[in-house]
Chain A
Amino acid sequence: MSNYSEQELIEGCKAGDAHCQEQLYKLKYELFYRVCVRYTKCYADAEQLTNDGFIKVFNNIHKYEGRGSFEGWIRRIMVNTCLDHLKSKKVRENRQTIAPDDYTEHVFFNIPANIIDDIAYEDLLKIIQEVPPTSQAVFNMFVIEGYSHREIAKEMNISEGTSQWHVNNARKFLQEKIKMMNLEVK
C-alpha cells in the first residue's frame, strides 16, 4: 500500500511523477471500478471505463484546485466517462427508450425493506445491470450518486420530467426483479 498521503500523491501526479500516478491508480482502482460497474452491462466494459476514467484523471489533474473532495472530483469524471459511453452505446444499439418529457407520476417500492438486506451485493448489482441503459444511469445518478433531477437533466440533455420517469422506470424494474428473486429464494 502507498506510503504517500493523498495530498502528496496529488502533487506528485500534477508534477507528472509516474510512481505517484501508479500509486494513486492502484489505491483508488477498486473504489471507482465499483462506480463504473453500476453503469455498465458487463465487467469488461466497467474495466475499460475505469481505465479510461483514470487516464482522464491524470491528464487533467492540474485542473483540480483542491476545492472539495478529491474522491468526489474523480467520481464525477468516472460518472461522466460512463455517461459518454452510454450515450454512444445508446445510439449504436438504437435502443433509446422513449420517455415522456412531462412525467410527474411517482412510483413507490412495494416491497419490505429487509428484502434488500437479504440480497447479496453481487445479486443486486446484477439486477441493476439489467435495468434499461438510460434508466440504469439515471437511477444510479439520482439514488446512489445523489444528483438532483435538474443536474441529471443537464448532464443527460433530457428534461427533468424525463429524468424522473427514468428513476421510476428503474424502480419498477428493480421491484419486479427483487420480488421474483425473493420468490425463487423462498
Chain B
Amino acid sequence: MEQKNIDQLIKEKMEKGGGAIPSKPQWELIASKINVQPPATKKKALWIPWAIAAAVIAIMFVGVNALWTTKSDSLLDQNNVVIKEVDQSQTDLDVLNETDTETNEDILPHQSQKDPYPNTLATTSEYNKSKQTNQGNKATPIIDNKAIVTEKTVTTNQKSVEEKESKTEATSEWVDIPSSPTKANPAEWHFANTDQDLNLVKKQFSLGFSGAVNYGNQNSGYVLALSARQDLSSKVFIDGSVSMIYNNSSNQVIGLPSSLQNVTMSAAPVKSAMAREAVTYMPSVNTLYIQFNPVVGYRVVDDISISAGPDIQKLMNQNNNNNSFNYYTFKTDGTIAQLPDVDLGLTAQTEVNLSPNLKAGLLYRQGFNHLIAPSNINVINRNYFQFQFKYSFGVNSKK
C-alpha cells in the first residue's frame, strides 16, 4: 500500500468526522471579548505621533528662533541700556553734582584710571536702589551704594554734565553727605563692568532631582530622576535627565521565553488564551526602564517654561534562570504586543516654578516604536502623562 494513500485515508477520515462532538458553542463566553468597534477608529490614532512630532519640531524651531532673537535683543538691550544709562548717568551726575564738588572731581579721575572697560555702565536697578537709599538716609554716600558713572558716560554727556553743573547750586536736597568716599580707598568702589553685573543675561547651570508619577497605557509608575540644566539665554535652555522608571504593570505585562519571539504576531494569541497560559508558566512582571531625556526648553514667562525632546529608554528587567525573556503586554484588541527593549519616544513638558528651587511639571511621552520596528514585530508604544516635582539648585548662579 502506498504511503500517500494511507495519508489520504487518514485525512478523509478526520475531515469526515464522526458523531456529535463533545462540545457545544458557547457564544456568551466570547461575545464580551469581541471588539465590536469598527477598525476605522484605530487608524485615527495614527496621526497622533505625527502631530506630536510636528509639535516638537515647532517648539524646537521656536526655541532656536527665540535663542537668536534673544541674542539680538541682548545686543539691542545693551545699546538701549547705554542710551538709558546716559540719562541715568545724568541723574547720577545730578546727584554727584549735588554733592561735594571736590568729591566729584576726585571720583572721575580715579574711575578713568581704574575702569578697564570704558563702555560699561551701572544698572538702573543699582542706581534706583542707591537713590532710594539715599533718599531714605541722606547720610549714605552715593559711591558706597555703588551708583557708578563711567568715563564714556561722562564723555558722551559732557555737555549735559556741564549743563547740570550749572544747576548744581539750585539743588539743595542731596547736599549733606558726611561720609563721602575718599580718594584713598578706590577699591571699595564697584564698577559694573560685566554682563553678569549688568544682569543682562542670566546664564545659569543647575542640577536637580525629581520624583514623578506616571499615568499611561502601561499602568501607573514611579520615576526618580537626576537632571542638569544649562541656560543658553534668558529664554532658552537645554536640559538633560537620567531617570529610573518603575512601572507597576504586572497586570498587563508577561514574560515569554525568547524561543517564542518568532511567534507570528498576526496570529498572536488573544488575551484570554495568553492570560491562561501566563498564569501557569509565564512570569508577570513590573517593568523597570532607565531613561535618558534631553530637551530644549523655552521660558514663556519667568515662572513657566515649555520643553520638548527625544526620549530613549532601556528595559532593565533581568532574565530569569539564564533564560532570555521577552516582555509582552495585552492590547485593547485582545492581541499582544512586545515591550521594546530599547524604547524610543518624544516628550513635551511644561514646568511651573513654585519657588526659586522647586518646580512642578506635567510631561507627556509618546512612543513611536511602531514606526521603526520591523513589520513582523508587533511592538507597543508606551505613552503616558507624568506629574513631577523637581528640586534644583544653581551651581554657578548669579549672586
Contacts and interface: CB of A to CB of B under 8 A. Distances in A.
A6 to B, nearest CB: 17
Given A33-B21, A108-B3, A85 B9 contact: no
Contact of A16 (B17, B37, B259): B37
Contacts of B263: 84, 87
A49 B280 CA distance: 16
Contacts of B24: 29
A80 B13 CA distance: 22
B395 to A, nearest CB: 53
A91 interface: yes
20 contacts: A25-B27, A25-B30, A30-B21, A34-B14, A34-B21, A49-B273, A52-B270, A52-B272, A56-B335, A59-B333, A85-B269, A87-B259, A91-B281, A106-B3, A109-B3, A109-B6, A116-B6, A119-B13, A121-B14, A174-B10
Interface in A18-53: 18, 21-22, 25-26, 29-30, 33-34, 37-38, 43, 46-52
Contacts of A34: 14-15, 17, 21
A117 B26 contact: no
Given A29-B25, A85-B277, A122-B18, 14 more contacts: A33-B21, A34-B21, A47-B23, A48-B273, A48-B276, A55-B30, A55-B334, A58-B34, A58-B35, A81-B273, A92-B281, A116-B10, A143-B11, A157-B262
Q: Which 9 A-B pairs have the closest CB atoms?
A: A121-B18, A80-B267, A29-B25, A109-B6, A92-B281, A116-B9, A16-B36, A52-B273, A58-B34
B7 interface: yes
Looking at chain A, what size class is its interface with the partner chain?
A: 35 or more
Interface of B: 1, 3, 5-7, 9-11, 13-19, 21-27, 29-31, 33-39, 256-257, 259-260, 262-264, 267-270, 272-273, 276-277, 280-282, 333-335
Interface of A: 15-16, 18, 21-22, 25-26, 29-30, 33-34, 37-38, 43, 46-52, 54-56, 58-59, 62, 77, 80-81, 83-85, 87-89, 91-92, 106-109, 111-113, 116-117, 119-122, 124-125, 128, 143-144, 155, 157, 171, 174
Contacts of B334: 55-56, 59
Contacts of A117: 9
B327 to A, nearest CB: 15
A171 B282 CA distance: 33
Contact of B272 (A15, A55, A58, A87): A55
A174 B6 CA distance: 11
A112 B267 contact: no
Contacts of B39: 62
B31 to A, nearest CB: 7
A143 B6 CA distance: 10
B260 A87 contact: yes
A144 B11 contact: yes
B46 to A, nearest CB: 16
A90 B285 CA distance: 22
Nearest to A156: B262
B1 A112 contact: yes
B1 A124 contact: no
B17 to A, nearest CB: 6
A121 B17 contact: yes
Contact of A91 (B27, B259, B268): B259
Given A16-B38, A25-B25, A59-B34, A144 B276 contact: no
B165 to A, nearest CB: 91
Contacts of B1: 109, 111-113
Contacts of B13: 116, 119, 121, 124
Contacts of A143: 7, 10-11
A85 B34 CA distance: 20
Contacts of A121: 13-14, 16-19
Nearest to B323: A91
B30 A38 contact: no
B267 A56 contact: yes
Contacts of B335: 56, 59
A85 B274 CA distance: 9
Nearest to A117: B9
Nearest to B40: A62
Contacts of B257: 91
